[in-house]
Structure 1
Amino acid sequence: MNEIQKRLIAEVADLHDVPMGAYNFRANGKLAGRNTTANIDIQTKTEGSGIDIRIKDNTRNESVHIPVVLSDSGYKEVVYNDFYIGENCDVVIVAGCGIDNCGNQDSQHDGIHRFYVGKNSKVKYVEKHFGSGTGTGKRILNPGTEVYLQDNSVMEMEMVQIKGVDNTNRQTTAKLNKGAKLVVRERLLTHGNQQAVSGYTVTLDGEGSTADIVSRSVAKEKSYQKFEVKLTGNNRCSGHTECDSIIMDEGKILAIPSLEANNIDAALIHEAAIGKIAGEQLIKLMTLGLTEHEAEEHIINGFLK
């Protein structure tokens, strides 16, 4: 990989060197590096574009890194990655995509990830998106995520996009069996004329299943955000969603919650708050010597941590 691609890898996967464990690096549609372990196998799909990742039963304290980078202006791709996680596992999966576009053509990556999580397994999934480049072409990222949780399994998802992506449409669906748990923490920043759509459709089928989905976002300048979430409880279960947003300048934010209870013991809650930065917060920081811009950035950075 060239220096631009290495920088993108560092941004989306926090990697400054070859990681320990299993990994698959993809650059401009081509394999740029791969490693498997005794417990984690990665294979290129025989049909279509993408990879299959298979994690054996009882695999614990291991990780998989699968970052994607695009540095050729005008390059567009759709990739399908399937994860088959065995039973009694505890693993970390780090994905993400970085686009550096210095040309006048749009660059786009659509990554579809499907997770089949076995009984009693725990997966931490980190997905970061980043855009850079001085060109007029757009940087477009459309991630799709499907999660299927078997009995007593846990999926923790950290979804981050805080710089440089012009358009994104993130759609996530999840189905939870008995005792399964889904936790999502989304952080999003848009500016300029950027547009970002986040959609979550979660079905709580199993008895004792739980879901907790929290989105924190900031819309600056003329950017637009849409957050749409639907929780369906089909059994004794609990679900919570929260949208907490800061709106600035001429930004626009739309939050659309939907709760559907099909069982008398389904407990579903939604919370939403959209507002500007409080004036007293700015004044307090400015009395400490910060400019108004520095105070705003300080508040935003703390809010999105």
Structure 2
Amino acid sequence: MVKDIKSILLEEVSDLHGVPAGAYNIRLNSRLDSRSSTADIEIVSKTDKSGIDIIIKPNTKNQSVHIPALVTESGIHDLVYNDFYIGENADVVIIAGCGIHNDGSETSEHNGIHRFFVGKNARVKYVEKHIGSGEGTGERIINPQTVVEAEEGSYVEFETTQLKGVDSTIRTTTARAKAGATVIVKEKILTHGNQYAETRFTIDMDGDDSSVSLVSRSVAKDKSKQKFVSVINGNARCVGHSECDAIIMDDAVVTAVPEITANNVDASLIHEAAIGKIAGEQIIKLMTLGLTEAEAEAQIVNGFLK
């Protein structure tokens, strides 16, 4: 049974249908499940705490590493520290994600603290999906913390998705961008029932010609609550953009708290926030094509979160 749940979670959070090629580390119920390194990407266990170091050699190109974390038992409280060392001029994709399946009455929780040390002119795309499942009454909690140090000329892109089953999440991201560095974050969140999701970004652009783009698209249903907090500090000649775009439904609550600070005369910073319900004419148009009201709403939400 556990094997079946593990396979389902792996597919949902990392698009894996078996053991991946290349470097990978699969964590299951707070323990190492399986691991593989390559000539260019080494994964080693930490000796002082729970977690791993992922060491990507300079000039590594067109390679990927998978690091999913899975919880399949009730009552698990997982805490992991993962450090990524990306060498100069590397160009890699990191596919992470966490899935919690809870059929019991106790809370199951995964907290991941990830630090990225991105070398000069390196490019990193980090893809992370969070999902919760199971028929139990125990909560499913995922709290990721991310710290990014982007060296000169580097490019860091985060694509994060949480669309079902997670009862509570607080997602915290801090980043420092040196000269010419780019940090891009694209997040998608769907909450329903009594779920709570909070996202906190703090970005410091410390080098000339650095840039940041934060884009959050979310849907809040039923009595769920969401909070989006973004802090961008322009400490040099730089460009920063923050955008929160949310659809609110039923009795849900969405809060957006932007803060942009220009500490340099050549810092150009923009924040956009939009929170609103689905327009009635959108639903009516789809209903004229034969959809029910519920089907029309679902189509609009799916399109919005693509």
TM-score for both structures, normalised by structure 2? 0.99
Shift of 1:153: 0.1
Residue 88 in structure 1 maps to residue 89 in structure 2: yes
| Partner in structure 2 of residue 106 of structure 1 | 107
Letter in 2 for 1:192: G
Residue 287 in structure 1 maps to residue 288 in structure 2: yes
| Partner in structure 2 of residue 31 of structure 1 | 32
Report 1:9-158 matches (<5 A): 9-158=10-159
**Secondary structure of 1:103 counterpart:** coil
How many residues in Structure 1 have an aligned counterpart in Structure 2?
305
> How far apart are the structure 1 equivalents of 2:231 and 2:127?
22
8 Å contact kept, 2:30–2:79: no
> How far apart are the structure 1 equivalents of 2:252 and 2:59?
47
Report 1:230-245 matches (<5 A): 230-245=231-246
- Where has structure 1 moved over 4 Å in runs of 4 or more? none
Residue 192 in structure 1 maps to residue 196 in structure 2: no
TM-score for both structures, normalised by structure 1? 0.99
> How far apart are the structure 1 equivalents of 2:304 and 2:29?
34
Letter in 1 for 2:61: R
> How far apart are the structure 2 equivalents of 1:41 and 1:60?
14
- Cα deviation, 1:227-248, whole Å, max 9, x if unaligned, reads 0000000000000000000000
Residue 272 in structure 1 maps to residue 281 in structure 2: no
Letter in 1 for 2:80: V
CA RMSD of aligned residues (A): 0.6
**5+ residue gaps, structure 1:** none
- Cα deviation, 1:101-143, whole Å, max 9, x if unaligned, reads 0000000000011000000000000011000000000000000
> How far apart are the structure 2 equivalents of 1:239 and 1:30?
39
| Partner in structure 2 of residue 163 of structure 1 | 164
Letter in 1 for 2:108: S
**Secondary structure of 1:8 counterpart:** helix
**Secondary structure of 1:109 counterpart:** strand
**Secondary structure of 1:249 counterpart:** coil
Letter in 2 for 1:32: D
**5+ residue gaps, structure 2:** none
